[in-house]
Structure formats: C-alpha cells, structure tokens
Amino acid sequence: MKIGIDAVAFDVAKIHLPIPTLAKARNIDPEKLQKGLGLEKMTLPDVHQDVVVFGANALTKLIQNYNIDLSKIARIYVGTESSIDSSKPISSFLISLMEQKFGENTLSNCDVVDFTFACIGGVDAMQNCIDFVTLNPTKKAIVVTTDYAKYDLNSSGEYTQGAGAVALLIASNPRIIAFGNTWATSTKGVFDFFKPYRTLAKTDITGNDANEAWFDNLESEIEIHKDQPVFDGQYSNQCYMDRTRDAYFSFKKLKNTSQTVYESWTSIVMHLPYAYQGRRMLSEIYALDASNSTLSGAEETTVYQNKLKEISKSEAYIEFVSKKLKPAELASSLIGNLYTGSIFMGLLSTIAHFYDTKKEISGSVFGFLAYGSGSKSKVFEGTIQQDWQLALKDVSLFETLEKSFEIDFETYEKLHKKEQHQSVCSPKNEWILDRIESENPNLLGARYYKWVD
C-alpha cells in the first residue's frame, strides 16, 4: 500500500521587504545576502495576520481546491514552533474556523493536536499521520505547518525572516508522492536555537502600561515569551551538519547499500532556513558518500574545513547543486524561512518548477533531509506518482509569489515592533485576526478570527 501526499496548498505572507533594502539599511554587502545566502525577499505578516490566519487560509484552500469531504478527515495535525498559547493548540483554532466555514460539527470527530520540535515538528506530524493512514487506509489525515520566523532587529537572523503555512493531505494511493518505509533519525539535546520563557517582574513594566487598569490586577510576576529566538548562528549550522550527516548515514545503513545514496535521488529537499543552507551544509555528505572521495574525518579541523570549502567550489559540486538542490531553493529565496513549512515549501517549489518547465518526473525518487534545532534530523525518501501534475494544477506557486507587495524599510520596522495598526494590504477571500479580547491586547486574551469575502 502506497501512502503519501495527495494534495497540497499554501498561504504565505503577502508583503515583503526586498533584501537589498534591508542590506542597505543595515550596512551589509547585498552580494553577501544575495549571492552568499541566496536571499531575494523577506516576507512578513500584515497587521491582520498571525500563525492561525496562515494555517486557516492554507487549510481552507486545501479543502476548497480539492473538494475534500470533511467526514473522511480523521486527523488534523499541526506542526509549529510559533504557538500562541501554552494550552490551546493552533489545531483547536483551526477546527472552529473550519466549522464556521464548512458547517457546524463537520469535524467534531476529528482528532487534532500540535507537534513542536522547532522546524522538524511538521515532519514529525506527517510521519505520525503516515503511520495512521498505513493502519487505516480508508481514512485521510491533514498536516498543517504554520510559523512566523521572526528575529531581533539587527541580529544575524534578521535577513532570514519569513512567514506562512503549508497544508498537506495524507492519503493512501496519493497523487503527488508516496513515501518509503525507511526513516532514519539523529537526535541530540543542544541549545543552538530556542525560545525560552522568562519571568517579568511587575516592576519591569513602566510607561503607559503601568497606568492602565489591567496593571493593578497583575500578579507580582508574569511569565512571557518572545517570538524571537535565542540562537548561536554558526553553532546552529554545526548542529545542522552533525545531525543531518548522522541521519543520512544511518539511512544508508538501514537501506543496507554500499552505493552512493544521493545518486539515486533526482532531487534533494532539505530544511531551508534560507535558500542556500542546503548547498552550504551538504558538501560534507556529498564528499563522504562519494566512492572516490578523499575527504576523511581523521584530519585536523582546519585542513578538513579547507577541503570542504574546496569541494563546495568544485565544478562537479556546483553542477550537482544546480541539478538536485536548486529547484527547492527557488521559493525559499522569495519567501525566507517558514520554519516547519520550509521543507514542504522546498518540495512544492521543486515540483512546481518541474511543472512549469514541463519536465516529466513521475517515478523519480526524491531524498529529504529534515532538521529541527534542539536538535533532530530525519532522512527519508519518496517516489513521485503518476498524477502529480493533476494534483498541482491549481497551486500556482510562483505566480502567487510574484504578486507579493513590496514595503519600505520604515513600514517593515513598524510592523516588526507592532507599531503599525493599519493593514498594509486589504484582505480579500481570507481569514483575518478580528480582535483579542483582553484589557491589554499585548499581553493576554482570547483571539477571535473572521472570514473576509
């Protein structure tokens, strides 16, 4: 029995800051960001958008575009690392919004839950749904990944920001891709990138906020957490390399093959925090798994690093990148990081590119290298199915990204600091954040959403 992705939809933030604009404002060489990291645009949420909005829009498009019968959906599992509540999952918001739109009690027997493990939570949700459909082949499951990759202003993560959601229908006899049974995992508990809670004393709250009525009712301390992570960029790259290498070679062992594994993959889809992360991180695996490689782990660190640099600049590696990795990078350059959705956007970018260039890929095997900080990697593979083009017909990925609205630097900073109160683009045919019911909208309260025609 084949199990995999039968349909896909996405909702990416509709406004962006061009990377050269950011580079100029931050006094960074734009060539470093564009040619070194592959960045072109950085998407960010409008005033009326948050992660529930992106998830609900992607899910609504999936249901409408593919005429999905909701009585067949047994699970909606969400992958996210941008949760807005420590108790109520995003999937619980999604259920109520879908029932508002598609009819009361249409999903009341559906199991919903959120998965969090940094950027790999969406892959964890999907693997779980694949196992479920394997046991229950007449049932279907939906995976929604939704995140806002927000970093501190002036930090090294600032130019990798992005926001949006991807929704996947997981079913037996899928039209797009069927996954194999070999899944390799590598895990290690590290602090490369994380979002800790911190205790804020009442005395830390000053200015207008301290004069508001809600302030008197506060406990002496409150727990808050920032959307932006604490991270060490270069160390996170090292953890990414270590975990993906371990998972890749464990995959090779599980496959019990002496062949170079990536040779059998037409395309390689990796977690992309920015477009060129995959190509920068994969050169080691590329050399170590090549039968004629001279790279050995026994050398001194600097010798080893220099050899890796040499390999990544070789003609053979550049050709390998352009053949196997480039199609997945195209959307990432125009969006930025989607955290849990990045690997699935990489898959969508690849197949949308082959669709637009009229390349027949059915029967091709794609390799996947997922990564989540903290840290975990999973390596698996899937085979493109006969009807992949049919399932992609209404997706229009690159046409949609083309229409993204450019904002200036001042608007970007106001949105980032939550000082912009008027939407940049008027919403149409989509969910929006309607209101937060609390005395101070910045702190606590129930969030309500509505559909705008």
Ligand X SMILES: CC(=O)CC(=O)SCCNC(=O)CCNC(=O)[C@H](O)C(C)(C)COP(=O)(O)OP(=O)(O)OC[C@H]1O[C@@H](n2cnc3c(N)ncnc32)[C@H](O)[C@@H]1OP(=O)(O)O
Q: Which residues bind ligand X (CB under 6 A)?
A: 29, 31-32, 35-37, 119, 156-157, 160, 193, 231, 233-234, 236-237, 240, 271, 273, 277, 280, 337, 339, 371, 373
Tell me how far, at minimum, the Cβ of 119 lies from ligand X, in Å.
4
Distances (CA, A) of 438 to 52, 132, 185, 432, 446: 18, 39, 43, 18, 7
Pick 157 or 427: Cβ nearer ligand X: 157
Six-digit token pair at 114? 């959120």
Pick 153 or 390: Cβ nearer ligand X: 153
Pick 36 or 103: Cβ nearer ligand X: 36
Residue 44: phi and psi, rounded to 5, are -150, 155
Tell me how far, at minimum, the Cβ of 265 lies from ligand X, in Å.
20
Six-digit token pair at 142? 């939906």
Tell me how far, at minimum, the Cβ of 338 lies from ligand X, in Å.
9
Tell me how far, at minimum, the Cβ of 120 lies from ligand X, in Å.
9
Six-digit token pair at 328? 């997945």
Q: Considering only CA atoms, which of 82, 95, 89 is closest in space to residue 56? A: 95
Tell me how far, at minimum, the Cβ of 40 lies from ligand X, in Å.
14
d(CA 171, CA 452): 31
Residues belonging to the chain: 453
Tell me how far, at minimum, the Cβ of 425 lies from ligand X, in Å.
26
Six-digit token pair at 337? 């990081």
SS (H, E, C) 79-110: ECCCCCCCCCCHHHHHHHHHHHHHCCCCCCCC
Pick 156 or 438: Cβ nearer ligand X: 156
**Whose CB is nearest to ligand X?**
36
Tell me how far, at minimum, the Cβ of 272 lies from ligand X, in Å.
8
Residue 14: phi and psi, rounded to 5, are -95, 0
395: CB partners within 8 A, 6+ apart: 8, 9, 10, 348, 352
